[in-house]
Chains A and B, each alone.
Chain A
Amino acid sequence: MNTAAFVVIAVFTLAAALAAATNPNLMHAALSFALAFVGVAAFYFFLGAEFVGLVQVFVYIGAVAVLVVFTILLTRREGEKHRGVNWSGVLIAIAVFAGLAWAIVKTPSMSITPPQIAPLTVKRIGEALMTDYPWPLMGAGLLLTVALLGALILAMEDKRE
């Protein structure tokens, strides 16, 4: 049962990712990209990481996908041209993939059977963030505040002109 679910999710995610990379229609590619995010979120749910899965949907589909789609909309040129192959992009993708694959293969936990741990509830994550890791949390908060203020300044009308 579990293996079947894994295969279904994996095939779904990879197919969506492949469509995102190869589809000549830029908007379709972006939407396939969002579909690949859904697949990754399904993976998180499948592994019992409910919170991470929900945040994946929230941030990547609700915000990142919308951002990507808007970028395409606002920068689209007249008469859509078919995308050529961007070799530097291919190179970077291969490098990232190799780095990640190397890190995953080298991880010792791959061969260990998972220990029985209590389900990772939102409450436990919150407690860990507020007690053990307050500085990363504050750093993230500061970064987001700066981003918000920066966006406000960029969008603000210049009154002096």
Chain B
Amino acid sequence: MANFVDQIFIRAKQLLLAPIIGHAPDWLVQIASSLLNIFALLAVFLTLFALISVLERKILGRMQNRYGPNRVGPFGLFQPIADGIKMLIKEDVVPARADKVVHFLAPILIAATAILALGVIPYGRNMTPFSIDGGILFFFAVGSTTELAVFMAGWGSNNKFSMLGAMRAIAQMISYELPLIITVLPVVMIVGALNPDAIVTAQAGYKIDIIPRWFVLTPWGAAGFILFFVSGLVESNRTPFDVPEGESEIVAGHMTEYSGFKYATFFMAEYIGMFAISGLGVTLFLGGWHAPMRFLEFVPSYMWFFAKLSILLFVYIWLRGTLPRTRVDQIMNFAWKFMLPMSFTCLIAAAVWHYTGRGLRGWLWSFVVLAAVYTALSILLDTRRKFATRVYRFAE
């Protein structure tokens, strides 16, 4: 029974494909199968986008001691439908001096790349939409195209705010792509494969029957996960790293000259990118679709994946509700002086972990390596010197 529920979507797909298997040529079946995958992906993640857009406002409202949207439908749950209709019927304004073609193509390209990245993530047992050998590489290859799309948006708008915002966005994306990819390397190195399915399989099983073999529970994995998560925050332009946008300085950055449905497309791409990077984080460090306890394995695998994804998304919203924004120079300094050395240390710590037997001894040794480098870095960078001690002149 549990197995049936676990594989219910695979069965459904087989059932849908059954009428044409054997009658149509192979390539047609393949195309039909791919189309079904794409349809399922879009349906799930666009629904999730609608849900998260209202939940984010609700949670932020809760944190800031106010009601979120609560007018449309029960608890304001139909808010995304109202927003969607509003966006669709808004006038689409294109600046007269804009580069029309580039201006038009930028939101399409940015949404396409964001959605493409979702295709290689394993959502459950046998539930990888497109299982390709270099899946992780595909994810980042597609992700790197986003920079070009952001540039097209900034340049095509022919607006100073747009161009400056695009420059900021691209600068921070390029800087953080480095730690993002280097923190993925230890996982790839330990598993010995670039295939997301193989990475999930490597995290199956339990140590001493209780502790899951997720990479986040090793020192290098924990450090790598934190670095990955912070880089992911920057890549998806979320608070506290949302400098490409700022009402008081550069309006909406590269999205300044977009209105109506094109703006909504940018908005959607940003959220889909957030889902993709969180999904990859779940796959790489949090055990993918594996259950945290053996006795919980009867719960379908995809439920676990989406439970972990929701927790990560909640942390994204939580950070947005609590942290102030950083400045551009702070972001860059942080990337090159802290994130990059730490992610290289993760690589070394993972190697130490592997060669000292992957057990308790390896755990301790890799922890020592990480702790030593972290301490050295904090002394070397001397973060305290930059800030004077706070003096209260009037409120003694």
Contact = CB atoms under 8 A, between A and B. Distances in A.
A66 B171 CA distance: 11
A45 to B, nearest CB: 10
Contacts, number: 64
B244 to A, nearest CB: 16
B144 A61 contact: yes
Interface string A37-70: 0000000000000110011011001110110011
A58 B141 contact: yes
A24 B138 CA distance: 33
B170 interface: yes
Interface string B129-163: 00011100110111111011001100100000001
A106 interface: no
A54 B102 contact: no
A28 B101 contact: yes
A10 interface: no
Contacts of A62: 141, 143-145, 147-148
Nearest to B170: A66
What is the size category of the interface that chain A forms with chain B? 20 to 34
Contacts of A25: 99
Interface of A is mostly: helix
A69 B170 CA distance: 12
B192 interface: yes
A100 interface: no
B27 interface: yes
B134 A27 contact: no
A50 B148 contact: no
Contact of A54 (B101, B138, B170, B192): B138
Contacts of A70: 151
Nearest to B340: A148
A148 B138 CA distance: 24
B193 A123 contact: yes
Contacts of B163: 73
Contacts of B111: none
Contact of A57 (B102, B142, B192): B142
B143 to A, nearest CB: 8
B184 interface: no
Of A28, A34, A54, A58, most buried by chain B (CB within 10 Å of CB) is A54
B194 interface: yes
B147 A66 contact: yes
Nearest to B145: A61
Contacts of A66: 147-148, 151, 170, 174
Nearest to B101: A28
Interface in A59-111: 61-63, 65-66, 69-70, 73
B134 A63 contact: no
B137 A55 contact: yes
B144 A122 contact: no
B133 A121 contact: yes
A112 interface: no
B202 to A, nearest CB: 14
Contacts of B145: 57, 61-62
A155 to B, nearest CB: 10
A1 interface: yes
Contacts of A57: 141-142, 144-145
A122 B148 contact: no
B144 A58 contact: yes
Given A27-B155, A28-B101, A121-B133, A58 B170 contact: no
A58 B140 contact: yes
Contacts of B101: 28
Contacts of A34: 148
Nearest to A152: B336
A15 interface: no
A131 to B, nearest CB: 14
B193 A69 contact: no
A55 B151 CA distance: 21
21 contacts: A28-B99, A31-B102, A50-B133, A50-B134, A54-B134, A57-B141, A58-B137, A58-B140, A58-B141, A61-B145, A61-B148, A62-B144, A62-B145, A66-B148, A73-B163, A119-B133, A122-B133, A122-B134, A122-B193, A123-B192, A123-B193
Interface of B: 27, 99, 101-102, 132-134, 137-138, 140-145, 147-148, 151-152, 155, 163, 170, 174, 192-194
Given A58-B144, A122-B194, A123-B192, 5 more contacts: A27-B99, A57-B141, A61-B144, A69-B148, A122-B137
